[in-house]
Every structure is written in C-alpha cells, then in structure tokens.
C-alpha cells in the first residue's frame, strides 16, 4: 500500500502532466488557427487577383494585320524626326491678289498639291492661272520669283494641282495607305496666320464626314481632326506620325467671332480622294459638269414614322427627281446598288454627296418612304447635269 505522501506526490505528477498536455494542446490549436488564417488570406488574395484578371476589359486596339498601329507610334523621337523630314516638302502658295495658303510636293516632276480655294479668287470664283511659290530651305520659306502653273482645281473636293519648274532642291511627300482610324495621331502642316512652317498635333476625331463649307456641301467624305487649322493652313498636309500624307487641310471651323481661330473642328480631304482628283486634273480628265437630282431638302437628319432619311422639301420641274416620281415630303432612306443591297441615307447631305460622286446620265435607284401612303418605293432616276460647273 502506498503511504499518503506517495499518493500526494503521484497526484501532483498527474496534475503536472495534465497541465503540460493541456498547454501543448492549446499551443497546437493556436498554431493551427494561425496557419489557417494565413492560408485564408493567401487564397483570398489569389482568388481576388484571378477575378480581377478575368474581368479586365481591354479596349480593342486599332492595329493592322501585322500588329502595328495605323500611322505609327507617335513618341517624341518619332515626332521630331517626322517634322524635320516633312518640312522639306512644304511650300507656300500665294495668289497674285494676295491670298496665301500652303501646299506640298507630291511628285518629283514638280507637282504640288494644295486646296482649290487657295488658288481661287473668293469674289469672282475664278481660278488663277499662276501663283507665287515659296520653297522650304532648312526651316525657312525662300521666294526666288518662282511662279507655278495652276493645272486645275476641283471645287467639290477642294483639291488643286500646281506645276513648278525649278532647279532648287525639294523633297517629295509620300501618301499613307487608306487606313485612317478614329483616335490616331495626326500632324497638320502649313503657315497659320502667316507663321511659316508651323506644325500642330491632334487626333482623327471622325472619318467620312460631310460638311457644309462656305454654304456649299463638300463633294467627298472628309477627315475631321482637332489638330489646329487656321487661315494659312489650307492646302497643307495632314500626316500620320510617320510623315505620310493622310489628307489635305481644307477648312477649320471657328466660333463665328472675329479672329476667334480654330475651335478644334477641322477638316481634310482624304488622300484616297485627293490622289484621284489630282490624277484627273493632271490628265485633264476632270468632269466639267456636276450630276444633279433636282431636289432640295432639310440638311439635318429627319425622321418619319420611325424612318430616318433625307426629307424632300421641293422637286424642280422637269428634273431627274420629278421624272423618277419623287414628291414633296418623300423621305429618301437609301440607295440601292446593282446587287440589290441598300446603303442607308440618313440625311440630305448624304444624298447630295451620293449624287455628286456620280456623273450626268448615270442611273441611280433610290429607296423612298412615302408617309402619305405608308409605302416604301424603289424609284430609278437618270441624273442630269447641274448648271454649276467645277
């Protein structure tokens, strides 16, 4: 039998062992809790990161098939080099009566592209036979009694071509592919407000614009840009970041106040049209008559019975439109091609442009909505020659 002292000692040892075991269990539980907490944070961060990655929406980049950006990347190094190289193609164009604009060499034979209104007298509408040309030498415009022959001008596209015979050296511009996209960087060259060989930078704000300039609708779709364009920029080049011409500056909108300057809404004739028109001018194959439908309407878009189109206000007696059966208050909603496909017409500007891009005696099939009878018609018109000439 054990003595009381031995029993007390045994109970003490048991209590000590139990206490130690409880301590170890407690520490183990704490350790497990800490590890569990750490793992919870790790997995939560990982899950959050994965979720963020999976839900990130990347805007589609307007890249070409080879992965490059249209017009090239416009970093500072590229921009400085482009400006230095392109300045050498730029010329000053001055009418004998004092009007001044810009232009650029586009052919080694001495052909210069500019805006038609630069070589046209504003009062009489007469195109000058010759103009004074200043050539860029370094960063300066040099006049050496150089007179260029105006080969021709097209009012609809606002493009003109000048031929200059000179022994002075000059650079020839190159044209960009027809892949201008909204948002790409562009550079506008010219002599704004008499400041020779100035450059402004902006983006392409929109393409295929139709504009009314000096109360006349443009005969081609235009590039809209916020690159600053002021008097003296007209006829100058609009280039991409690689110095390739994407358009010819023709107009800048202003606030209407005197000497207000550019307000960031400016237009250029795309090179796809400029080159075509220039080729016609040089080859003396430019049409001398404008196609006409013989209707007038509201310039802005109109909607009738939830149909948008060009609302006709008046049909000229004996015109192509009258002969086709177009009536007042008709809504022209589309043009039907030879395959039966309909290109929508959303406003009267688009209708005028579609007509002006054709020639007299061309046939055009119009999709017309007539609200009085709630019917859609297909009417064929044979375009006539307008009394206005280019």
Cβ-based burial of 173 (10 A; exposed 0-12, middle 13-18, buried ≥19): buried
The C-alpha atoms of residue 263 and residue 270 are separated, in whole angstroms, by 21
Position 194 pLDDT exceeds 70: yes
Rg, C-alpha atoms of the chain: 36
Query: By three-state DSSP, how is residue 321 classified?
Result: helix
The per-residue pLDDT for range 251-265, each reduced to its tens digit, is 866 545 555 556 788
Average pLDDT of the segment spanning 16-30: 57
Please write the tens of the pLDDT for every residue from 326-344.
Answer: 999 999 999 998 888 998 9
Is the pTM higher than 0.75?
A: no
3-state SS class at 351: helix
CB 114 within 8 A of CB 106: no
Q: What is the CATH number of domain 289-389?
A: 2.30.42.10
66 pLDDT more than 80 = no
pLDDT of 50 over the 50 cut = no
174-175 and 244-252 beta bridge pairing: parallel
Cα separation of 13 and 25, whole Å?
A: 18
May I ask the CATH architecture of the domain 177-271?
A: Beta Barrel (2.40)
Q: State pLDDT tens for residues 82-116.
A: 999 999 899 999 998 777 899 999 999 999 999 99
pLDDT score at 297:
85
pLDDT of the residue at 141: 82
Please give the backbone phi and psi of residue 33, each rounded to the nearest 5 degrees, phi first: -65, -40
Main-chain phi, psi angles of 20, to 5 degrees: -65, -40
By C-alpha distance, which of 117, 237, 116 is closest to 172?
237
**Region 289-311: what's the mean pLDDT?**
81
Residues near 254 by Cβ (< 8 Å), separated by ≥ 6? Answer: 260, 261, 262, 263
What pLDDT is recorded for position 19?
A: 56
pLDDT band at 45 (very low <50, low <70, confident <90, very high): very low
Q: Which pLDDT tens digit goes with each residue over 127-168?
A: 999 999 999 887 788 877 799 999 999 887 899 999 999 988
CA dist 274 and 238 (Å) reads: 12
Residue 167 CB-half CA count within 13 A: 0
Weakest mean pLDDT among 13-17, 29-33, 200-204, 289-293:
13-17
């Amino acid at each position: 039998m054990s003595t009381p002292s031995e029993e007390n000692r045994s109970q003490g040892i048991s209590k000590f062992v139990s206490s130690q075991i409880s301590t170890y269990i407690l520490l183990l539980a704490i350790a497990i809790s800490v590890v569990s907490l750490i793992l919870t944070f790790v997995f939560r961060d990982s899950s959050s990161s994965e979720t963020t990655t999976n839900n990130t929406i990347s805007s589609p980049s307007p890249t070409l098939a080879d992965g490059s950006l249209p017009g090239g990347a416009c970093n500072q190094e590229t921009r400085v080099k482009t400006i230095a190289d392109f300045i050498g193609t730029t010329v000053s164009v001055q009418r004998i009566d004092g009007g001044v604009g810009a232009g650029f060499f586009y052919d080694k034979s001495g052909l210069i592209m500019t805006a038609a209104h630069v070589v046209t007298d504003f009062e009489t509408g007469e195109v000058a036979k010759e103009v004074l040309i200043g050539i860029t030498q370094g960063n300066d415009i040099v006049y050496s009694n150089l007179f260029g022959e105006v080969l021709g001008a097209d009012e609809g596209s606002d493009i003109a071509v000048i031929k200059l015979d000179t022994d002075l050296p000059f650079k020839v511009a190159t044209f960009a592919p027809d892949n201008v996209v909204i948002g790409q960087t562009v550079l506008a060259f010219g002599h704004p407000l008499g400041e020779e060989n100035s450059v402004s930078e902006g983006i392409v704000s929109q393409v295929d614009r139709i504009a009314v300039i000096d109360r006349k609708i443009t005969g081609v779709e235009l590039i809209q840009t916020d690159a600053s364009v002021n008097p003296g920029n007209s006829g100058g080049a609009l280039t991409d970041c690689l110095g390739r011409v994407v358009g010819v500056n023709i107009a800048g909108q202003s606030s209407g106040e005197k000497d207000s300057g550019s307000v960031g809404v400016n237009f250029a004739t795309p090179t796809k049209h400029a080159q075509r028109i220039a080729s016609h001018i040089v080859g003396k194959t430019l049409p001398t008559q404008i196609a006409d439908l013989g209707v007038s309407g509201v310039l802005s878009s109109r909607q009738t019975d939830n149909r948008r189109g060009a609302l006709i206000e008046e049909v000229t007696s004996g015109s192509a439109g009258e002969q086709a059966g177009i009536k007042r208050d008709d809504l022209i909603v589309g043009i039907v091609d030879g395959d039966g496909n309909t290109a929508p017409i959303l406003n009267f500007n688009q209708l005028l442009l579609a007509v002006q891009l054709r020639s007299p005696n061309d046939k055009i099939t119009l999709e017309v909505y007539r609200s009085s009878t709630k019917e859609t018609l297909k009417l064929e018109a044979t375009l006539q020659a307008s009394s206005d000439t280019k």
